[in-house]
Amino acid sequence: MAAKKSKSGSEIPEWLVTFADLMSILVVFFVLIISFSIQDKEKLQIVAGSMREAFGIVQVQQKAGIIERRGNPQRDYMKNLTLEEDQSSTEFAEEDHDEKEKQGAEANTHDYERTDIERPQQFALAATSLRQAWQEMPDITYVADNLLLEETEEGLNIQIVDQEGRPMFPEGSRYPFEVTRQALAAMAPVLNRLPNQIKITGHTAAGGTYENPRYGAWELTVDRANTTRRILEEFGLTPDRIYSVVGKGEADPMFPNDPYLAANERISILIMQEEPPVPVTLTP
């Protein structure tokens, strides 16, 4: 008598077995991909979090208690701590801070750091205007090498320098040649448009001869600087823009190794570097 196959109500369907095998293969596949790839902690944390959420893991958070380390005395109560005011806190700041990038509650953060990047371009427009004014005067183009512009830490220094065979002043005279006068005349309107103060300094080369024993290098350089000031004022520079008129004689040569060189005889016109104005603090 043939035995009959018994049927049970708990028999698993064939499609479910196939589906379970497929899921197992996929899990193994993703594990292999993660194993062979370059591991990144952040990515692994993301994958782990996704898997926890996929499998229904619920994260339980509890308040942490006091953990006594070995060697610490046991306490029956927590130690009382005093509150210290945070010096960097500006939650109640009300004053304006012009040197800060942030204002109000963040007034003490992000200081403006001043660098030397801003300074090289400060007098660029003035130098360009001066060169253009000289180029528009064909009578002084041949002495272009005598007119030097140099940007220094003190400001824009304009020097009218004697060259071999092309002096700017006659020998021993306080009054300049006509070409020097024209260069100063073109310079005056440009200087007057700037807010900066002007410092005029006279220099001379060593080895000069003077007929009057009471009139030497110091007197000559002072007179030449003062004559330069008068010419600039005659052609438009207001007197209140003059900071100082100084004569240095032979004391400050342009070429210290050769104090007798003609280029040491010069007039220096300095457009002074202006310090930023101090902000006014308004009091209630």
24 within some domain = no
For the ranges 204-208, 219-223, 276-280, the one whose mean pLDDT is highest: 219-223
233 within some domain = yes
Percent of the chain with pLDDT over 70: 63
206 within some domain = yes
Burial class for 242, CB neighbours closer than 10 Å (0-12, 13-18, 19+): middle
What is the span of the domain harbouring residue 254?
119-272
214 within some domain = yes
At residue 233 the predicted structure's pLDDT band, cuts being 50, 70 and 90, is very high
The chain-wide mean pLDDT, for the chain, equals: 76
Q: Is the pTM of this model over 0.85?
A: no
Q: Which residue has the higher pLDDT, 47 or 236?
A: 236
172 within some domain = yes
The torsion angles phi and psi of 268, rounded to 5 degrees, stand at -110, 125
Residue 174 has which token pair?
Answer: 């306080």
> Is 80 exceeded by the pLDDT of residue 257?
yes
Half-sphere exposure of 94 (CA within 13 A, CB side): 4
84 within some domain = no
165 within some domain = yes
Could you tell me which of 153, 243, 261, 273 has the C-alpha nearest to residue 207? 261
- Residue for token digits 């953060």? 109
Instruction: State pLDDT tens for residues 112-142.
Output: 444 454 555 567 888 888 888 888 888 888 8
CATH of the domain at 144: 3.30.1330.60
Give the count of domains, the chain. 1
33 within some domain = no
